[in-house]
Amino acid sequence: MRDTRESRLLLVLLIAIAFALITVDIRGGEESPVDGARQAAATVFGPVENGVSAAVDPIGNAIKAIRESGDRHTRVSQLERENAALKAKLGSDDRNRSRVRQLDKMLKTAGAGQYGIKGAQVIGIGAAQGFSWTVTIDAGANDGIKRDMTVLNGDGLVGRVTTVGPSTSTVLLATDPDFTVGTRMESSDELGFATGQGDRPLSVQMLNGKAKVKKGDRMVTFGSQADKPFVPGVPIGTVVKVDPSDGGLTRTVHLEPYVGFTQLDVVGVVVEAPRTDPRDKVLPEPVKPKPTPTVTVTVTPNANGEYPAEGEGEDAAGGQVPPTGASRDPNAGTAQDDQE
């Protein structure tokens, strides 16, 4: 349309009419005279509007997603950090609970032997001082630790202190080939010397070549002069093998240690020896063997007063079947089956 005087007048007129219709529609409220026209327009243009909206919405959503992506990424990162922190906390709690159990067990062991101990934690392993089986603990001279003190945990003998620093110490483990400790057998009091064999059981030379030793026998530390490097009564291990006696002055047995040397964490250094030898008090309660079950079978005669033939018997409704070899003597009454 060309910009003429007539076109300007038409534009002004249309604008005036539009304002007039808007005023009439607002004042009319729900009974507006243009309501019918509005509904007709909605009927005609509604589907077109929905189609345009459906076409435009993905674009709008994409723009909104791009605009909010930064916030979402920040939220995801925050949740990942919180999740990692929670896992770390749970792991730490599990670790703390494990250490509490170890400490509680160690304190019970120390209490049974009346040992005065200084608790410590293993913070390193290796051959820092030239030993092949050593650990480093976080307790040293500042904590009252001295060389040649006994080290134990809740299971038994761990080793002895060899090097002491201001805040750390080196412990030679009982599995080291250079480690030797005097032993005493439970009950019989037979003496010997145990030597480390690395990841194999300890080798014990019994002083009495005719000593009666069997698998399952238990040993504790005999103790040293002035209680250094070993205090008496600390559990060492259980006999797992006895070498045949060759008639010599000594006899060799093999001892499985109580301590798991690959799982050391909380340990205790004995800073005060017991006033009296605890003997076998620190050893755990022995495991009682399970009794061998014995089956008793009662043989019942039939209506004719006869006993059923071997292998025969009544059904499961109430009959009792004697096993092969069971007595059928009416005066015997019962038979023992010694099978396990």
Model confidence over 153-195: pLDDT tens digits? 999 999 999 999 999 999 999 999 999 999 999 989 999 999 9
Please provide residue 240's backbone torsions phi and psi, each rounded to the nearest 5 degrees. Answer: -115, -15
Amino acid identity of residue 37, one-letter, is: A
Which neighbouring-strand residues pair with 228?
Answer: none
Rounded CA separation 152/105 (Å): 11
What confidence score (pLDDT) does residue 75 get?
A: 63
Residue 140: name the closest of 291, 271, 333, 247 by CA.
271
Host H or E run for residue 123: strand 116-125
Give, as one character, the DSSP assignment of residue 207.
Answer: S
The beta-strand segments (E) located in 246-325 are 251-257, 266-272, 295-298
Q: Are strands 169-173 and 157-164 parallel, antiparallel or unpaired?
A: antiparallel
Rounded CA separation 78/68 (Å): 15
Between the alpha carbon of residue 92 and those of residues 97, 110, 261, 262, the distances in Å are: 9, 26, 22, 20
What confidence score (pLDDT) does residue 338 get?
A: 45
Q: Is the pTM of this model over 0.85?
A: no
Residue 195: count other Cβ atoms within 10 Å of its Cβ. Answer: 18
143 Cβ contact list (under 8 Å, min separation 6)? 118, 120, 167
Give, as one character, the DSSP assignment of residue 175.
Answer: T
**CB half-sphere exposure, 233, CA atoms < 13 A:** 20
What confidence score (pLDDT) does residue 48 get?
A: 47
187 Cβ contact list (under 8 Å, min separation 6)? 280
Give, as one character, the DSSP assignment of residue 128.
Answer: T
What confidence score (pLDDT) does residue 316 get?
A: 42
- Going from the first residue of the chain to its last (340 residues), give the mean pLDDT of each consecutive group of 10, the final group possibly shorter: 68 71 59 56 48 51 54 67 66 76 92 94 74 87 95 96 95 95 94 94 93 94 94 96 82 95 93 94 79 71 66 49 47 44
What confidence score (pLDDT) does residue 119 get?
A: 93
The beta-strand segments (E) located in 150-232 are 150-152, 157-164, 169-173, 180-185, 191-197, 200-206, 218-221
Token digits of residue 149: 């003190």
Give, as one character, the DSSP assignment of residue 196.
Answer: E
Model confidence over 229-259: pLDDT tens digits? 999 999 999 999 999 877 777 889 999 999 9
